[in-house]
Chain A
Amino acid sequence: MSGALSPPVIAAVLGAGAAGAVLRYLLSRAFPVRPGHLPGGILIVNVIGSGVAGALIGLAERAALDGDLRLVLVTGFCGGLTTFSTWSVETVELATGGRWRAAVLNVAVTLVLGLGAAAAAYLAFR
C-alpha cells in the first residue's frame, strides 16, 4: 500500500467504507441478539466480508483486479463491513454475563467460518 493516492480514490474508499458500515448496521438490526445466543448479524457480516476479501485478493494475484479498485473494495467496503471491536466487546459481555459457552463459540465460529470463507474464496478466484 504505497504511492500517492488521488483524491477521487480516497473519496471512493471512504464512500465504500460508509456503505459497508450502513449494511453492517442494518444486518445487525435485522438479526437481533437473543440472550445466550451468538450475535448473528455481526457473525454474518464478518464471514461475508472475509469471504469477499479472500476472493478479491485471489483476483488481484492474477492481475484481474486494478490496484485502486482493490483498495476501494478491500480496505473500503470489506473493512467497513466487517468489525473487530464489536465482536470482541460482545464476546466479553457474553463472558461477564456468565455465558461462557456462547462466548467461546462466538470466537471459534467467527474464526473458523471467517478463515474458511476467506481461504475458499481465495483459492476459487486466484
Chain B
Amino acid sequence: MPSPAPTLLAVAVGGMAGTGLRLAFDLAFPHGDAEFPIETLLVNLVGTFALGWLAGGLWTRPTTPTWLKAGLGPGLIGSFTTLSAVMASLLVLTREGEAWLGALYLLVSVAGGLLLAALGLKLGSRLAHRPMPHEVGDAGSTL
C-alpha cells in the first residue's frame, strides 16, 4: 500500500526537527574522541521513553490520524534517536584504546533503552487506560 503524500511530508518535517534537536544536543555536550558520548546516550534514552509513551497511549486511540503518528514516531523521534552514532562511537573509542569504555557505553545504552521503552509503554498505556501493546505495530514503523 503506497503511503499518501501528507504522511510522507509529516515524516520529512518530523525528521528535520528530530535531526535538528539531536544536532543541538551534539553541540551542547561536546566531547573528545576518547570520552564517553553522553549526548547520544541522553538523546537515545529520552527519545525511547517518549516513543514508548506514545506507542502505549496516543497510538492506541483509533481516532489518532496516521500522518500525526508517522510525523511524531518515525519522523521526529525516529530521527532524533540513532543507532549509527552508537556504532560510530564504539569504533572511535576502540581506536583510541578505550574499548572497555565503549563496551560500557553499549551496555548502558541497550539496557537503559529497553528499560525506558518498557517504562514508557507502561506509563503511556496506564494514563490512556489501555492495555500494554504486545504486538509490534504495522509495518515496523511503530505506528
- By a beta-carbon cutoff of 8 Å, the part of chain A in contact with chain B is 1-2, 5, 10, 13-22, 24-26, 28-29, 31-33, 35, 39-42, 46, 49-50, 52-54, 57, 74-76, 78-94, 96-98, 107, 110-111, 114-115, 117-119, 122
Asked whether B26 lies within 8 Å of A75 as measured between CB atoms, the reply is yes
Rounded to whole Å, the gap between the CB of A117 and the closest CB of chain B is: 8
Q: Which of B42-92 contact A (CB under 8 A)?
A: 44, 47-48, 50-52, 55, 70, 73-75, 77-88, 90-92
- The count of A-to-B residue pairs whose CB atoms sit within 8 angstroms is 237
Q: Is the CB of A50 within 8 A of B135?
A: no
Determine the residue in chain B with the shortest Cβ distance to A34: B136
Interface on chain B toward A: helix, strand, loop, or mixed SS? helix
Tell me which residues across on chain B come within 8 A of A83, comparing CB atoms.
74, 77-79, 81-83
Neighbouring B residues of A39 by C-beta, 8 Å: 136, 140
Contact status A21-B79, CB under 8 Å? yes
Given contacts A21-B75, A42-B140, A54-B91, contact A79 B8 (CB under 8 A): no
Count of chain B residues with a beta carbon within 8 Å of a chain A beta carbon? 64
Q: Is the CB of B87 within 8 A of A76?
A: no
Nearest CB in chain B to that of A52: its residue:
B84
CA distance A85 to B107 in the complex (A): 15
